[in-house]
């Protein structure tokens, strides 16, 4: 009697399933939501007040007044020297450069399957198509810093606008100094929202990590608990000393 061996069928995982919309590869995943939050919460250039800086994730960036329907949607970008609120009174629905009159200072793209060529400036457009991301960031908006991060390899690529074109920066230490905003952008390994991995983080001029609001709260809580513990131990020592003095016939008061 022979027993037929049934080969177990292996179902595809999230890593090899295509986008639900084949016409739009690279739809946002959970990392695409969490990473920009970290950048948003810690973007604190010391040479600009909180009211003089604006940053956004997955927001339409309109760049051509002659083609007002053309836009790019960076995973994250920041602008300095512009009011935090639109006309100092309202939150923005999008960022329109001919209205704002200030271009972004940095754009960060998170590589996704299907978008690598455009993110890395390797895509060639047809003459009747809008400009590519690289063309918009480098040639039209002339954004000083452009950073691309690959979540699958934890590789960071950084470019700075030199004269008219982007030049690749040395990222061997996984940290980039940006003079105009007095900040480092680097790779940090830690836990955010329960996910432990490498993340892009902002650092100050001394390479100290700029903490997230929740990290500040946690540090303050730990300081309070440490102070309370120290005060408790001091009371215990004082009580023991008083008891010893009493045993020697000395009034501690």
For residue range 43-94, list pLDDT tens digits in order: 999 999 999 999 999 999 999 999 999 999 999 999 999 999 998 999 999 9
Q: How many Cα atoms sit within 13 Å of 182 on the Cβ side?
A: 9
Better-scored residue on pLDDT, 101 or 114: 101
Specify whether the CB–CB gap between 200 and 183 falls below 8 A: no
- H helices, E strands: number in the chain: 5, 12
Average pLDDT over residues 32-42: 95
Better-scored residue on pLDDT, 40 or 1: 40
Specify whether the CB–CB gap between 147 and 176 falls below 8 A: yes
Q: What is the pLDDT of residue 27?
A: 56
List the chain domain ranges.
30-210, 211-253
Q: Which two tokens stand for residue 142?
A: 């002339």
Neighbours of 174 (CB within 10 A): 15
Percent of the chain scoring above 90 in pLDDT: 62
Q: Which two tokens stand for residue 119?
A: 């993110």
pLDDT tens-place string over residues 81-106: 999 999 899 999 999 999 999 999 99
Mean residue pLDDT of the chain comes to 87
Give dist(CA 6, CA 183) in Å, integer: 59
At the top level of CATH, the class of 30-210 is alpha beta
Angle at 147 between CA 177 and CA 185, to 5 degrees: 35
Res. 13 pLDDT band, cuts 50 70 90 = low
Res. 2 pLDDT band, cuts 50 70 90 = very low
Q: Which two tokens stand for residue 73?
A: 């949607």
- Taking CA atoms, 202 is separated from 13, 57, 77, 156, in Å, by 33, 16, 13, 14
Question: Pairing between strand 76-80 and 175-178?
Answer: unpaired
């Amino acid at each position: 009697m022979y027993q037929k061996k049934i080969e177990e069928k292996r179902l595809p995982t999230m890593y090899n399933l295509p986008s639900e919309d084949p016409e739009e590869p690279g739809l946002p995943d959970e990392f695409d939501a969490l990473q920009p939050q970290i950048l948003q919460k810690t973007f604190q250039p010391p040479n600009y007040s909180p009211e003089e800086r604006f940053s956004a994730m997955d927001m339409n960036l309109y760049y051509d007044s002659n083609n007002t329907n053309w836009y790019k949607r960076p995973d994250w970008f920041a602008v300095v020297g512009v009011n935090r609120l639109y006309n100092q009174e309202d939150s923005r629905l999008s960022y329109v450069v001919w209205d704002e009159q200030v271009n972004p200072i940095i754009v960060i793209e998170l590589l996704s399957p299907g978008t690598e060529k455009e993110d890395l400036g390797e895509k060639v457009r047809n003459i009747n198509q809008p400009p590519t991301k690289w063309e918009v960031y480098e040639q039209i908006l002339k954004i000083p810093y452009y950073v691309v991060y690959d979540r699958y390899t934890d590789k960071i690529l950084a470019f700075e606008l030199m004269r008219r074109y982007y030049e690749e920066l040395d990222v061997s230490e996984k940290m980039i100094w940006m003079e105009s905003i007095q900040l480092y952008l680097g790779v940090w390994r830690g836990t955010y929202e329960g996910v432990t991995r490498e993340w892009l983080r902002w650092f100050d001029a001394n390479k100290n990590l700029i903490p997230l609001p929740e990290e500040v709260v946690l540090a303050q809580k730990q300081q309070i608990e440490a102070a309370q513990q120290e005060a408790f131990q001091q009371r215990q020592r004082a009580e023991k000393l008083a008891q010893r003095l009493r045993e020697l016939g000395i009034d501690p008061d």
